[in-house]
Amino acid sequence: MTYHKTDLFDADLQEIAIISKVLAHPARLAILRYLANANTCISGDISNEIPLSRTTVSQHLQELKKAGLIHGEIEGTRVCYCICKESMQRAKLLFDGFFQEIEASSSNSCNTK
């Protein structure tokens, strides 16, 4: 049985870490922003909107899809991508809770200038 050190941490922290890793690239943030602003599923070539090659955009879309932040459904010869609202709401709740906990616990933090 393999044991990963990440298993030592609670499920919420593990989930936050996975989402953080996916969001840690500006291209993925740009793709999410584009899909959110489009307010519909996009089946066209997203690489026309993101300054990267089609292959690179496709790789970023796969990472976002694997993390559950977007849906990708096949429509004929194209894939239609859209934001997964439930996953985004879950991510927001996780991050809000994490930062609220940090903020509440940091009353003794140092004030550096």
36 within 8 A of 24, measured Cβ to Cβ: no
CATH number at residue 47: 1.10.10.10
Residue 36 within a domain = yes
Residue 110 within a domain = no
Structural domain count, the chain: 1
Q: Where are the alpha helices (DSSP H) in the chain?
A: 11-23, 26-38, 54-66, 85-105
- Tokens linked to 100: 């609220």
- Tokens linked to 106: 């940091």
**pTM of the predicted structure, to 2 decimals:** 0.83
Position 109 pLDDT exceeds 70: no
Domain containing 38 equals 10-91
Residue 4 within a domain = no
Residue 112 within a domain = no
Residue 104 within a domain = no
Residue 21 within a domain = yes
Q: How far apart are CA 46 and CA 30, in angstroms?
A: 10
Collapsed DSSP state (helix, strand, coil) of residue 78 = strand
Residue 101 within a domain = no
Position 112 pLDDT exceeds 70: no
Q: Side chain identity at 24, as an amino acid letter? A: A
pLDDT digits (tens, 9 = 90+) for 5-52: 877 888 999 999 999 999 999 999 999 999 999 877 887 778 888 899
Residue 65 within a domain = yes
| Higher pLDDT among residues 20 and 73, named by residue | 20
Residue 88: partners with Cβ closer than 8 Å, 6 or more residues away:
69
